[in-house]
Amino acid sequence: MNIVVLVKQVPDTEAQRQLNPDDNTVDRAAVDPVINYIDEFAIEEGLLLKEAHGGEVTILTVGPERATESIRKALSMGADKAIHVTDEALHGSDAIQTAKVIAKALGTIEWDVAVAGSEATDSRSAILPALLAEALGVAQLTQARKVTVDGSTVTIERVTDTGYESVQGSTPAVISVVEKINDPRYPSFKGIMAAKSKPVTTLALSDLGIDAGEAGLANAWTQVVSFENAPPRAAGQTVKDEGNGGGQIADYLASKKLI
Amino acid sequence: MAEVLVLVDSADGTVKKSTFELLTAARSLGEPSAVVIGAPGTAAALKDQLAEYGAGKVYVAESDDIAGYSVAPAAEALAAVVEQASPAAVLVSSSPEGKEIAARLAFKIGSGVLTDAIGVDADGATQSIFGGGITVQSKVTTGIPVVTVRPNSFAPEAAPGAAEVVAVSVTLSDAAKAAKITDHVVEEKGSRPQLSDASVVVSGGRGIGKADNFSIIEDLADTLGAAVGASRAVVDAGWVGHQLQVGQTGVTVSPQLYIAVGISGAIQHRAGMQTSKTIVAINKDPEAPIFELADFGVVGDLFTVAPQLAEEIKKRKG
């Protein structure tokens, strides 16, 4: 089974993330980049599928040159090889453009399932896997908390508000996984050493037959016009409980007409 | 004025509040029209409710196939309605499924898509990003705006609408039938509202100490008719299910009232709740960062303060 895992590099959520005032895009230099947290579950799921069904795990990343750090981490967890689509012209692309690029990149290899994290911690839009399935015209098996593969049939438990739906499709399929689907492994020392020599194919837009006039900020279908830092919440009132703390909260809620 | 399409979200014959919010928001952009997509018979139960919130038309795309496959058929059906109605914009609720439907629709019709809006205008939307730290104005530069709107961003206001039913026939493509729904499983169907669009949320954190104590959170929530949430620490400890996690990698909530009980307020958690309108915190540590956000905080033992609050609320409700 040929498994592709989509990995995005994002700014660390623990730091103060910013937009770049020059073009209103994510300021990727201001904050240390990390692998998107939920993608670690996607990598683990890819490795588990390989262990159960054989084959190879290929990491696919679209992003700036520095994203190689996240790719190496994914390889150190046990993935076999990687494709890194990187091109200055990609800067500022939106989700629809990125889905089209990933669809083209998948066209360069043989694959059965493409596994992604359900969302990225920077955009939080959670739409890329659905867009990729749409672009490719293949089964969308997203928001999975469990993935089962039987031959060419893939069945997932798709998380819903009240439980789950069983959703089934045939390969090739796009899968997205929610966090907690598994327990991502830590890279071993051996894995970290091995990752240094694993093959990473770098592709530019021209390698994918994509015109630079379709990619990037100037050609995106959406645009950030302006932004402002949200004013910090005005500090409220804090009291020490002297035996009537619950009553004081109730008074406060009543004064705000919340009860 | 051009129509503005609102994709209807419903459960068990009841239109969800988030749809009424969208119909209210749509009125500021044009003529609101509702779109019902689902199994045969879905729209009949919803039509009158949609009329109360100003739907001029109710487009109805119903078939067993539409309901039998995941996400893609709804996007295809919605695209058929867009073709028919030539709307000025399409509004969808920002649920995980709503966002996926909106994205696939936008791709199909060649339009930009904006997710998690907290405000809408003729060109696009206002979004709150990076856990509420930055507010951005975004616009759709190609096609019509396809916007998903976060629950609780608009106060629903009733207004009469004709709710004229327009049947839409949809022949699904093979690609739309690639992911078949083979089972629906309801695991938790309590009487509590759903976390993502509840008006009041009560969340518990590490301070509750053990799984059994989570009933303190539930009891308080029930006196307020609130949804229950939890911090990541509580979910990681296995005290409650992952679906209750509020935070950067869980559910983002923006209720009228958020009560944080025994939650320190790590950045991870704050990112999922700091756009709540009113925040109340109970924590024994006066240095807990949650107090920086709280409109009203009590430094004290949650095991006495939370039950006392629940009692007080019951008393005042009579």
Q: What share of chain B has pLDDT > 90, as a percent?
A: 90
pLDDT above 90 (res B318): no
Tell me the percentage of chain B whose pLDDT exceeds 70. 99
What is d(CA B304, CA A246) in angstroms, rounded to the nearest whole number? 8
Asked if residue B73 has pLDDT above 80, the reply is yes
Taking a C-beta distance cutoff of 8 angstroms, is the pair A125, B99 a contact?
yes
Distance in angstroms (rounded) separating the CA atoms of residues B239 and B227: 17
The rounded distance, in Å, linking the Cα atoms of B109 and B268 is: 36
Given a cut of 70, whether residue B189 has pLDDT beyond it is: no
The series of mean pLDDT values per 10 residues for chain A, 259 residues long, is: 97 88 90 94 98 98 96 98 97 96 98 97 95 98 98 96 93 95 96 97 97 94 94 87 96 95
Which of B314, B313, B281, B315 lies closest to B300, judged by CA? Answer: B281
CB < 8 Å to B313, chain A = 250, 253, 259
Residue B187 has pLDDT above 90, yes or no: no
For residue B120, which of B93, B143, B80 has the smallest C-alpha distance? B93
Angle between helix A245-255 and B302-317 (nearest 10): 50
pLDDT in tens, B209-267: 999 999 999 999 999 999 999 999 999 999 998 889 999 888 999 999 999 999 999 98
Distance from CA of A158 to the nearest CA of B (A): 9
Amino acid B131: pLDDT: 84
The per-residue pLDDT for B184 is 95
- Band (B142; pLDDT cuts 50, 70, 90): very high
Q: Which pLDDT does position B96 carry in this prediction?
A: 95
Does any CB of chain B come closer than 8 Å to the CB of residue A26? no
What tens digit of pLDDT does each residue of A73-94 get? Answer: 999 999 999 999 999 999 999 9
User: Which domains does chain A possess?
Assistant: 2-225 (3.40.50.620)
ipTM: 0.95
The rounded distance, in Å, linking the Cα atoms of A152 and B126 is 43
Considering chain B, what is the average pLDDT of its residues?
95
CA–CA–CA angle A51, A98, B268 (5° rounding): 70
DSSP per residue, A22-73: TTSSB-SSSS-EEE-TTHHHHHHHHHHHHHHH--EEEEEEES-GGGHHHHHH
Question: Could B112 and A221 be called an inter-chain contact, meaning their C-beta atoms sit closer than 8 Å?
Answer: yes
A252: its two tokens: 């406060």
E-state strands within chain A: 2-6, 9-11, 33-35, 56-62, 81-85, 113-117, 139-150, 153-159, 163-170, 173-177, 200-203, 222-229, 237-240
Closest-CA residue in chain B for A140?
B179
pLDDT of residue A230: 85
Window A:39-98, CB contacts with B under 8 Å = 94-96
Question: What pLDDT, on the 0 to 100 scale, is given for residue B297?
Answer: 97
pLDDT for the residue B90: 98
pLDDT of residue B229: 97
Give the per-residue pLDDT at B132.
Answer: 85
| CB-closest option in A95, A133, A236 to B295 | A236
pLDDT for A234: 79
Q: Which residues contact B239 (CB under 8 A, 6 or more apart)?
A: B208, B210, B211, B214, B230
Q: What are phi and psi of B57, to 5 degrees?
A: -125, 155
**CB pair distance less than 8 Å for B175 and A137:** yes
Residue B236 amino acid letter: D
Picking from A183, A50, A107, A253, the residue whose alpha carbon sits closest to that of residue B257 is A253
Instruction: Please state, in angstroms and rounded to a whole number, the distance separating the CA atoms of residues B306 and B282.
Output: 8
